[in-house]
């Protein structure tokens, strides 16, 4: 199908989040139960869908436990695609539409149920235990900037929602932005990659379509300075958003021209000036954001029309795309990335920080990948993007890890282990807390330090979590706890997660730090850590470590020298 494109010669700012590949991803929209992507024969990288109000119980058809959402994750992974969720719930909450975005986040009862739903999503994602990309509230942050006149200290019901995990956050729009980082942290869903949506019009100038002669950096700065306290800069949660999210256009360009009399077309010329309505201008805006924030970009909901689209409403079902006539409106974004000079265009956007191109129609009558026929009779994205992916795609430098873990300390002298939990005299109260662990004991088979360690026998199930823990540990707030974990060669462990859990006084808050199997050294000791929250109420209820398996696997692991 062709040869893989040469990797980028330069590295954009920031790093690709853990769990995502170091290459340009291409994905499509598809709902639960649909199989067009799987049947296409194309190795799509990602599969996205919207989660709107009601997703948590499948709009009344499921229990209110988020299992419907987990189904989408499992189904996507089974097809070889990264599950991507556009969490788009505020606009469908009671009380109006986009113009009432701020009013809704200021209402405590609305936010109580809203945050409950998001916490359930984090719980189901944690159980899924593979990377999940969650894109937060498309254009919602832009609405908040406009409706607050760029004041992040405007009131919002965060702690006032009554959600225990958010009690330490301020009742401000800034606190609202931090709430998603805090809930991910409290649940321990470290496999979730969170994206914050950047609207090209949030600064009061539409940089992509109308205010095309205005300098870009001042507009980037206006929006970045508003979003910095919402989770793009250092904050009390100890984390920031992982990626930026943008949508180059939410409809096909000719839909706007024909139905609204608006020109939304971009010049594809590689020599188009930055001060023009062009792909070059948009790429430069992305680059400035990448440099300013140190974050990579996910471009989402790219229009799917091509130059052969007939400019008619696409009213046919998009579920499977079998024998459907060509329909939808014309656009040039798919052809820009997969037509003439496409390799140069992909490299340009990747150099601007883009790590993913996710195509999908933002409204029902637009062009769709299921019937986007080109002049040669082929489905455009299936044939063109498919050829790109089958050839191996475009490698992208992963970038430096901006927060690398400290090097593990050397083991103490032979025969000594001063760690609080060294297992030299027994299990020290460590015990299984869930099925999957058949026994623990103090063993001389292996030791990181001293002469003994905690031997843990696992019978892991597919998608199972097997924890061992100790009650009422003496570790205090703010401490970083180090675990030494030995895993055997050819193990079936997909992840290891040390954790701490507070007691009733701390709202039973759970904090974990997930380490995937690719980061584990098999047949050797691994040092992994978890930090006790600085505001944790001690004594803690539990300190422990989880072993996660995606396939049925039985074996023995060892834990030693748990210290802080």
pLDDT value, residue 552: 81
326-354 residue pLDDT tens:
999 999 999 999 999 999 999 999 999 99
Reference 200, options 283, 260, 257, 102; nearest CA is 283
Dihedral class, residue 208 (left if φ above 0, else alpha if ψ from -120 to 50, else beta): alpha
pLDDT value, residue 402: 45
CA 449 from centroid of its chain's CA atoms: 37
363: pLDDT strictly greater than 80: yes
379: pLDDT strictly greater than 80: yes
Total-model pTM:
0.74
154-165 residue pLDDT tens:
999 999 999 999
11 vs 562, residue with greater confidence: 562
Cα separation of 240 and 232, whole Å? 5
Q: Stretch 55-62: mean pLDDT, rounded?
A: 94
**Torsions phi, psi for 462 (to 5 deg):** -65, 120
63 vs 101, residue with greater confidence: 101
90-114 residue pLDDT tens:
999 999 999 999 999 999 999 999 9
Cα separation of 299 and 282, whole Å? 11
1: pLDDT strictly greater than 80: no
541-563 residue pLDDT tens:
999 999 887 678 889 999 999 99
Average pLDDT, the chain: 91
Stretch among 215-229, 273-287, 425-439 having the lowest mean pLDDT: 425-439
pLDDT value, residue 549: 79
Q: Stretch 493-520: mean pLDDT, rounded?
A: 84
| Cβ pair 505, 564 in contact under 8 A | no
Cα separation of 221 and 225, whole Å? 6
Q: At what angle do helices 216-227 and 279-293 cross, to 10 degrees?
A: 40
Stretch among 266-280, 285-299, 321-335 having the lowest mean pLDDT: 321-335
Cβ neighbours for 560, distance < 8 A, ≥ 6 positions apart:
417, 419, 422, 423, 446, 447, 448, 449, 450, 452, 453, 454, 484, 486, 525
316: pLDDT strictly greater than 70: no
**Which residues are registered as beta bridge partners of 483?**
528
Cα separation of 339 and 336, whole Å? 6
Reference 172, options 95, 244, 111, 109; nearest CA is 111
405 pLDDT band, cuts 50/70/90, is very low
195-211 residue pLDDT tens:
999 999 999 999 999 99
**Terminal CA-to-CA distance of the chain, rounded, Å?**
53
């Amino acid at each position: 199908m062709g040869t893989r494109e040469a990797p980028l010669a330069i590295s954009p700012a920031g790093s690709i989040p853990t769990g995502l590949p170091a290459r340009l991803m291409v994905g499509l929209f598809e709902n639960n139960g649909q199989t067009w992507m799987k049947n296409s024969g194309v190795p799509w990288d990602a599969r996205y869908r919207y989660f709107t109000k009601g997703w948590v119980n499948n709009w009344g058809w499921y229990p209110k436990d988020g299992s419907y959402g987990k189904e989408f994750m499992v189904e996507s992974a089974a097809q070889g695609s990264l599950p991507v969720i556009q969490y788009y719930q505020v606009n469908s909450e009671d009380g109006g539409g986009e113009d009432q975005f701020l009013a809704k986040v200021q209402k405590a009862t609305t936010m109580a149920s809203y945050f409950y739903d998001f916490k359930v999503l984090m719980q189901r994602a944690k159980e899924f235990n593979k990377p999940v990309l969650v894109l937060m509230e498309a254009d919602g942050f832009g609405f908040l900037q406009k409706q607050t006149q760029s004041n992040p200290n405007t009131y919002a019901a965060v702690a006032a929602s009554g959600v225990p995990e958010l009690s330490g956050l301020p009742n401000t729009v800034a606190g609202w932005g931090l709430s998603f980082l805090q809930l991910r942290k409290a649940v321990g869903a470290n496999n979730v990659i969170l994206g914050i949506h950047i609207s090209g019009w949030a600064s009061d100038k539409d940089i992509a379509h109308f205010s095309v002669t205005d300098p870009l950096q001042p507009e980037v700065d206006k929006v970045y300075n508003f979003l910095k306290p919402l989770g793009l800069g250092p904050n009390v949660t100890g984390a920031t958003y992982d990626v930026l999210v943008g949508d180059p256009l939410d409809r096909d360009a000719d839909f706007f021209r024909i139905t609204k009399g608006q020109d939304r077309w971009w010049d594809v010329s590689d020599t188009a000036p930055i001060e023009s309505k062009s792909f070059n201008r948009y790429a430069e805006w992305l680059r400035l954001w990448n440099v300013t924030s140190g974050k990579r970009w996910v471009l989402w909901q790219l229009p799917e029309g091509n130059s052969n689209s007939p400019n008619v409403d696409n009213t046919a079902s998009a579920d499977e795309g079998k024998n459907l006539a060509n329909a939808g409106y014309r656009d040039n974004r798919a052809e820009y990335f997969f037509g003439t000079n496409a390799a140069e265009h992909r490299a340009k956007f990747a150099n601007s920080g883009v790590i993913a191109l996710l195509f999908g129609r933002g409204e029902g009558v637009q062009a769709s990948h299921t019937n986007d026929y080109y002049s040669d009779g082929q489905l455009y994205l299936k044939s063109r993007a498919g050829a790109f992916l089958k050839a191996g795609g475009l490698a992208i430098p992963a970038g430096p890890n901006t927060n690398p873990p400290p090097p593990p300390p050397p083991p103490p002298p032979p025969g000594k282990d001063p760690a609080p939990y060294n297992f030299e005299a027994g299990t020290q109260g460590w015990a299984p807390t869930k099925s999957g662990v058949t026994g623990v004991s103090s063993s001389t088979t292996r030791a990181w330090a001293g002469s003994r360690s905690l031997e843990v026998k696992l019978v892991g199930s597919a998608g199972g979590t097997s924890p061992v823990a100790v009650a009422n540990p003496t570790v205090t707030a703010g401490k970083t706890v180090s675990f030494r974990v030995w895993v055997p060669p050819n193990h079936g462990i997909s992840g290891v997660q040390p954790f701490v859990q507070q007691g009733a006084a701390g709202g039973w808050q759970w904090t974990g730090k997930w380490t995937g199997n690719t980061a584990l050294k098999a047949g050797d000791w691994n040092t992994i850590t978890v930090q006790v929250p600085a505001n944790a109420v001690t004594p803690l209820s539990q300190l422990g470590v989880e072993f996660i398996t995606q396939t049925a696997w039985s074996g023995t692991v060892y834990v030693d020298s748990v210290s802080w």
